[in-house]
Structure 1
Amino acid sequence: MLQELLSKIDKSPAEIDKEVVIRAYNLASLAHKGQTRLSGEPYVVHPIEVAGILVEIGVDTNTIAAALLHDVVEDSDYTYEDIEKGFGHEVAELVEGVTKLGKIEYRSREEEQADNVRKMVLAMSKDIRVVLIKLADRLHNMRTLRFKSPDKQKEKAKEVFDIYAPLAHRLGMFKIKWELEDLAFRYLNPTEYYDLVDQIAEKRKEREEYIQRIIAQIKGDLERAGIPCDIDGRPKHFYSIYKKMNNKSKTLDQIFDLTAIRVLVGTIKECYGALGQVHTIFKPIPGRFKDYIAMPKPNMYQSLHTTVIGPQGKPFEVQIRTYEMHRTAEYGIAAHWNYKEGNDKKTVDQRYVWLREMLEWGNMTQDAGEFMDGFKVDLLEGEVLVFTPKGDVISLPPESTPLDFAYRIHTDIGHRTVGAKVNGNMVSLDYRLKTGEIVEILTAKGPKEPSIHWLSMVKSNHAKSKIRSWFKKEKREENILKGRELLEKEAKKRGHNFSEIARGVPLHQIITRYNGTSIEDLYVEVGSGQTPAAFVVTFLTQGEEKALALPTLEEELVTAKDLVEDAKKKAEARKKRKKLKSENFFGVTVTGMDNVEVRFAKCCTPLPGEDIEGFITNVRGISVHRSDCPNFLRLKQVEDPDRFVEVAWQNQKDSFYAARLRIDAENRQNLLTDVMMVLQEMHVGTNAVNAEEQGNGKSVIELSLLISSSNLLTELIKRLKKLPAILDVHRVGGA
């Protein structure tokens, strides 16, 4: 067993001290002597397998030692001090972190599950390696789950889907995530799992032959183009296929992309070169190109994804990335963790700031149900990726609003938010953001207070905790008076005197529930709107169970009464907006008009710096065109002159606008690569790229761009025209 582990270490990219590993193994063997697992194997097999999983990931010596020792303190007479004496403070801290984390179990009691998850978040925020050990521990336990009872198998499988697989995804550890999901799928839905396995096995040979033909064709073309590469056909994982069949209501025969072709190259330039070759061989499907190299995912994943039409008209996916990107795609944070002496190994990378925010949310939120809902939002539900006006990518939970975006940028910006633009259009603060949108926040020039009603609008725990914190800290004295008044009124309404019911053990319990030390802290909790007075009075008079059955704060905020109040406020807001000048929209002013809606014409999509004119439409306000737009010139010939108005650009910094280019060129190697490199050098973003060979020795490349001005677009066109074999570059109306 030890020899097998040492052999893995010899192949590891990390520098691991074998002497330390051997000593840790010897202590683990001694501590677990005589202990067996349900399989009948010696217990020490488990920590060895956990350590082996982590060696493959490429972690450091101390993490391997801690993995071997992770059950020693819990299952033997050895102590934290023993481990610290033998292996140092860091290994002891890691072992203690895993021990304190304990076995996170999915329980019927939400309070217990929430407490366990809080422990996990706290452990991760202190040292991310604790959760790496926990993930490897769970993976090996899932591999041996067949020895558990059916009920236990389902319980453990559900834990994987609820906590561990999404956590692995968030950390970018896809290799572990995929295996966890397939194992959990097998035990949670065994009938569907084995049916799918049988269906896939029936046509495996035919599918493998098809993929090998494609791989040979791509590899040959890339080698002829001077791009060395490794290519393989990665079968989609069973659970991934199962989800796709369910989500799209399709049979297995209707799902063509059961295998993804993965192309690994040496450099970023070769990635784009390989993309150009693939699009030359196979016709790309419009809208299915994703550039995660230019815009990496929050978990550091980088790759080019494109879906093309293969032989027999079957679509398949191609993923192109460098070898370094591939390692990150497989192992996420573990591939980049800094283990060198002298560096702070406990600092979570800025890309994992969500860990600290989740911890902050856990400290702010005492209600178990609310905490678990927030945990699932931040960890389990995927993400929406939006852009700042400068082009930075911001990751938010699904259904997030401009307020969530504002608080993600900075707490002060969130507090001072008065409005928002999405893709240049004014939107309400409760607008649900979608991936790819550009968000701009409008703020008050001076100090401004957040609204308690924002709690019912925001989705992210980060925004909720910042809003609550403001009300708790900024108005303490006011909230004490307000809270006392609300509690006295609520108690009187129920026939009680608050001073009489606010005493004894129940009062102490509810104060400590909110981490308070005095009744004033309870007044602040109620006065700031964080806890309803009804909850406190019910808790004091009828007990915790009855109080927990009451609506939460967010539920109260959307009652009929509050909806009426919101309607009144929105009506007032509309009146105020009517006073705003039209310069608030798209950075364009309309001469002589203040109260008017402004839109860009899709036929010409004007950019700042270009001459523009306005046309009064029948129902959609002012349509802004380029002065030389053919459609606009035709309108001038047939429409009433009074419908044409003067418009002008306002000074709009850091805003981006849509534009499209068409490039006609002679076929040559690295054409698309050179085009993409020009875009990168000029810091021009792309929404979509489509390259197509015309069959007459010529190619067409269409680019959908995000660009800040007409001057930059003009300069870009000049640069592109200088590239070899370029015949023409021109702008296409309507982005």
Structure 2
Amino acid sequence: MNLTAPTSTIEFVIPEWLRECLNTRHLSHKSDASHEAPGEADLICRAFEFAYSLHEGQYRASGEPYIIHPVAVAGLLRDLGGGSAMIAAGFLHDIVEDTDVTSEELEQRFGKEVRLLVEGVTKLSKFNFSSKTERQAENFRRMFLAMAQDIRVIVVKLADRLHNMRTLEYLPDQKRRQIALETREIFAPLANRLGIGRFKWELEDLSFKYLEPESYREIQELVAEKRADREARLTKIAESLKHRLQQVGIPYNEISGRPKHLYGILQKMQRQQKGYNEIYDVAAIRIIVNTNDECYRALAVVHDMFRPIPGRFKDYIGLPKPNRYQSLHTVVIGPSGKPLEVQIRTLEMHHIAEYGIAAHWKYKETGNSHHQMTPTDEKFTWLRQLLDWQSDLKDAQEYLEHIKDGLFDGDVYVFTPNGDVVSLSRGATPVDFAYRIHTEIGNHCAGARVNERMVTLDTLLKNGDIVEILTQKNSRPSLDWLNFVVTPGARNRIRQWYKRSNREENIARGREMLERELGKNGLEALLKSAPMQTAAERCNYHSVEDLLAALGYGEITLNLVLNRLREAVKVQQSIAKASEGWGGIDPQALPLLPAPTKAPPLLPSSKSPIIGVEGLLYHVAGCCTPVPGEPIIGVVTRGSRGISIHRQGCPNVEPVPGDRLVPVNWNSTDHDSGRPQTYPVDIQIEVIDRVGVLKDILSRLTDNNINVRNAQVKTYPDQTAMIDLGIDIRDHEQLERTFTQIKKLSDVLNLRRLNQVEG
């Protein structure tokens, strides 16, 4: 927005609805009548006057007075049937962001409800959905949480976005394209999910106009060119339908032709791979009647007058869309021999199709309590799913992919044996259905019946299928299921089962081994202590749980774990402090090694990457491959290789006598470009085998500017896969950050740093 444009020559004209509101408030001051309606008018008028005074002197990029924008947003919300608090929020939605007014002052003037709405919209305005992956994912999470608290927040934001799109031409081209792309990918699908058809269609067409201007103009001209013929044909068909409905005694409210919006025509052309001249149903006949029964009777009349095309009938009355849209759709052969789409609905269904969730406010209830809609409402099952994914999917890229898929309305509706309707993503299978019903049903799924016939678990479900899941107590998920399930919930629960099943048993076994050696008293505190975490890292494991799992399945010995733990204990300056911190563990159970050799102080003037070996021949040991940021120790080799640099705690250093140990440290001030800036590290990743998992891991490494020297993948039928990678790391901080990002991937079960035995 531009708040500093030159003084505008455009005059602000108060719209008629607002003028009436101001007059109502004025008259109410002279009347002793009920103050309920005037009270609402008073809130709206005070919000307008406050916004007008604060935005005075501010201008948009178009040169218009800025107040035109909040007035337009408030008008859109009024048309949707929003209450006084919602309309007031439309006037005030930019106040906190663009002026010195605080949220507290807003609450004092207009109440808590208006404040919360304005705060919610202000937060949404700061979200950037075209930023880097991690930040973009976080913005989505916050947006859906805001929607969950009060759905009106996103409706105000949609009205704000719609008016901004109507005036987008005044912004620079790059900014226009960025906003238009964000609108098409995020806000138009949100409007669709909320059922606000009139917002969705206009947002899509405006985005189309700025993202693909040539295609937009072409379709616009083609539609305009054939408008006269189309309107004449539709008028003739509408008159025939009116006459027939009157004959059979079916009252109707409206029968009219409806041209499809331009972006919808483009999508149909792309979906069917046809040119505009080959798309016949660019307009539809809409019949609006009074009752559900009359809808089906009118359908019979249509099918009697025109030949229906098989497979092109959809009953959204019996099976409403998740956004509550209801209507009968049928495609017939019209009088000219061309396909014609006919939509039949009641007046209430038409209001819901136009206003979506806002029809709940505009035509149904009174009072303000009904506005506070949350994901517990049945009509928001899709929002509950989006919220569930926030906890299920930790990886930002995967979360974004599922969110953008989940926003688009491409559902298939199937039935349970009891007749309950279940909505699934298109392409869903019986396994997706099983996990939607309950996690345990999915985990023990052994087979499925669809329409009373046994089918394979990868069978694609179709609208109207009746699905029955067969379970067995000993059945378990198969890794092959990941190759065909499409719902994020099913995919994530299969992964979780594999992550938990064997891993939890191994962790428990590792704990038992430590308990037998150290005793039960204080073990919990010990496992959570800093020395235990240090011991895990020195054994090349990212966490204590990873260490316990490796101990449980025999990848590491108990003796080595205890040795690393002894060293970590010695690093503590006081045995008493260590004992107290562990809740009573006897330090004598962990015999201490000699104190580690003190590293030399850093010398800022030194050009060597390692302090303590200046002028000497040295090399980084391949057995533990230390990197800057990790404690190190030098070992004088017996051959001609000089000093070998190891990580402190490396098992190869244990038998070395003290007179061969050299105190060393990393030089954090090394700026010698001739020295190596990266260090080799070998890692091993256990993953659930699926197509693209290696690509996902490599992309995380690329994001962190990490070079991959070599990669080896080992796979086995219906088992986890092992990926060995050789990477080049700058320092310990980069290694830790990379480990954290890779472990967030849903398919990663375990990640460890490897030791390469030095020859």
The answer to whether residue 512 in structure 2 is matched with residue 358 in structure 1 is: no
Pairwise CA distance, 1:353: 2.1
Pairwise CA distance, 1:386: 2.2
SS at match of 2:340: strand
CA distance in 2, matches of 1:503, 1:435: 59
CA distance in 1, matches of 2:396, 2:225: 47
The answer to whether residue 255 in structure 2 is matched with residue 231 in structure 1 is: yes
The answer to whether residue 121 in structure 2 is matched with residue 98 in structure 1 is: yes
* Match runs of 1:392-471 below 5 Å: 392-444=420-472, 446=473, 450=477, 454-455=481-482, 457-467=484-494
Relative to structure 1, is the Cα distance of residues 533 and 40 closer, same or farther in structure 2, using a 3 angstrom cutoff?
closer
Relative to structure 1, is the Cα distance of residues 155 and 259 closer, same or farther in structure 2, using a 3 angstrom cutoff?
same
CA distance in 1, matches of 2:367, 2:687: 47
SS at match of 1:311: coil
State the match for 1:262 in structure 2.
286
SS at match of 1:321: strand
The answer to whether residue 71 in structure 2 is matched with residue 48 in structure 1 is: yes
The answer to whether residue 165 in structure 2 is matched with residue 153 in structure 1 is: no
CA distance in 1, matches of 2:246, 2:165: 42
SS at match of 2:454: strand
SS at match of 1:372: helix
Verify the 8 A CA contact 2:251 2:289 in the aligned structure 1. Answer: yes
Structure 1 gap ranges (5+): 505-525, 568-735
Verify the 8 A CA contact 1:400 1:433 in the aligned structure 2. Answer: yes
Pairwise CA distance, 1:292: 1.4
Verify the 8 A CA contact 2:441 2:471 in the aligned structure 1. Answer: yes
Structure 2 gap ranges (5+): 1-12, 23-35, 511-544, 561-620, 632-684, 722-759
Pairwise CA distance, 1:549: 9.1
Report the number of matched residues: 535
Relative to structure 1, is the Cα distance of residues 427 and 97 closer, same or farther in structure 2, using a 3 angstrom cutoff?
same
* Match runs of 1:523-672 below 5 Å: 545=704, 561-563=715-717, 565=719
Aligned partner (choices 30, 33, 56) of residue 53 of structure 2:
30
SS at match of 1:442: strand
Give the counterpart letter for 2:304 in structure 1: T
SS at match of 1:313: coil
Larger Rg: 2
CA distance in 2, matches of 1:113, 1:495: 40
State the match for 1:303 in structure 2.
327
CA distance in 2, matches of 1:256, 1:539: 45
Pairwise CA distance, 1:404: 1.6
Q: Which runs of 4+ in 1 moved over 6 A?
A: 7-10, 471-476, 485-490, 498-504, 526-540, 547-551
Q: Deviations over 1:493-551 (max 9, x none)?
A: x96659999989xxxxxxxxxxxxxxxxxxxxx999799999999999x8971579999
Pairwise CA distance, 1:218: 0.7
Aligned partner (choices 310, 316, 327) of residue 340 of structure 2:
316
Pairwise CA distance, 1:281: 2.0
SS at match of 2:458: coil
Give the counterpart letter for 1:561 in structure 2: T
Identity of aligned residues (%): 47
Give the counterpart letter for 2:413 in structure 1: L
Q: Deviations over 1:648-668 (max 9, x none)?
A: xxxxxxxxxxxxxxxxxxxxx
CA distance in 1, matches of 2:326, 2:115: 35
State the match for 1:4 in structure 2.
16
CA distance in 2, matches of 1:165, 1:333: 15
CA distance in 1, matches of 2:462, 2:21: 45
Give the counterpart letter for 2:155 in structure 1: L
Aligned partner (choices 314, 334, 338) of residue 290 of structure 1:
314
The answer to whether residue 233 in structure 2 is matched with residue 210 in structure 1 is: yes
Pairwise CA distance, 1:367: 1.9
Relative to structure 1, is the Cα distance of residues 562 and 374 closer, same or farther in structure 2, using a 3 angstrom cutoff?
farther
Verify the 8 A CA contact 2:21 2:45 in the aligned structure 1. Answer: no
Give the counterpart letter for 1:483 in structure 2: D
CA distance in 1, matches of 2:202, 2:357: 18
CA distance in 2, matches of 1:65, 1:202: 43
Pairwise CA distance, 1:485: 6.3
CA distance in 1, matches of 2:161, 2:316: 30
Relative to structure 1, is the Cα distance of residues 278 and 538 closer, same or farther in structure 2, using a 3 angstrom cutoff?
closer
Aligned partner (choices 107, 118, 122) of residue 141 of structure 2:
118
Verify the 8 A CA contact 1:487 1:537 in the aligned structure 2. Answer: no
CA distance in 1, matches of 2:131, 2:462: 35
The answer to whether residue 546 in structure 2 is matched with residue 483 in structure 1 is: yes
Verify the 8 A CA contact 1:487 1:498 in the aligned structure 2. Answer: no
* Match runs of 1:187-202 below 5 Å: 187-202=210-225
State the match for 1:583 in structure 2.
none
Relative to structure 1, is the Cα distance of residues 452 and 248 closer, same or farther in structure 2, using a 3 angstrom cutoff?
closer
State the match for 1:330 in structure 2.
354
CA distance in 2, matches of 1:159, 1:537: 27
CA distance in 2, matches of 1:9, 1:226: 42
Verify the 8 A CA contact 2:51 2:92 in the aligned structure 1. Answer: yes
CA distance in 2, matches of 1:24, 1:298: 35
SS at match of 2:266: helix
* Match runs of 1:48-197 below 5 Å: 48-107=71-130, 109-197=132-220
Verify the 8 A CA contact 2:503 2:549 in the aligned structure 1. Answer: no
Verify the 8 A CA contact 1:378 1:460 in the aligned structure 2. Answer: no
CA distance in 2, matches of 1:537, 1:277: 59
SS at match of 2:336: helix
State the match for 2:372 in structure 1.
345
Q: Deviations over 1:660-711 (max 9, x none)?
A: xxxxxxxxxxxxxxxxxxxxxxxxxxxxxxxxxxxxxxxxxxxxxxxxxxxx
CA distance in 1, matches of 2:707, 2:241: 61
Verify the 8 A CA contact 1:399 1:433 in the aligned structure 2. Answer: yes
Verify the 8 A CA contact 2:314 2:328 in the aligned structure 1. Answer: yes
CA distance in 1, matches of 2:630, 2:20: 63
SS at match of 2:715: helix
Normalised by the length of structure 1, the TM-score is 0.65
Verify the 8 A CA contact 2:234 2:257 in the aligned structure 1. Answer: yes
Relative to structure 1, is the Cα distance of residues 262 and 495 closer, same or farther in structure 2, using a 3 angstrom cutoff?
farther
Q: Deviations over 1:288-330 (max 9, x none)?
A: 2222112212211111111122222122111111000001111
Give the counterpart letter for 1:545 in structure 2: N
Give the counterpart letter for 2:715 in structure 1: K
CA distance in 2, matches of 1:530, 1:35: 58
Give the counterpart letter for 2:283 in structure 1: T
Pairwise CA distance, 1:132: 0.7
The answer to whether residue 549 in structure 2 is matched with residue 390 in structure 1 is: no
Q: Deviations over 1:196-229 (max 9, x none)?
A: 1111211211111111111111112212322221
Verify the 8 A CA contact 2:284 2:340 in the aligned structure 1. Answer: yes
CA distance in 2, matches of 1:83, 1:498: 59
State the match for 1:273 in structure 2.
297
Q: Deviations over 1:214-251 (max 9, x none)?
A: 11111122123222211111101111111212222222
SS at match of 1:17: helix
Relative to structure 1, is the Cα distance of residues 475 and 562 closer, same or farther in structure 2, using a 3 angstrom cutoff?
closer
Give the counterpart letter for 2:338 in structure 1: K
Pairwise CA distance, 1:566: 9.3
SS at match of 2:418: coil
Verify the 8 A CA contact 1:386 1:437 in the aligned structure 2. Answer: yes
State the match for 1:380 in structure 2.
408
Verify the 8 A CA contact 1:157 1:184 in the aligned structure 2. Answer: yes
SS at match of 1:336: helix
CA distance in 2, matches of 1:447, 1:336: 47
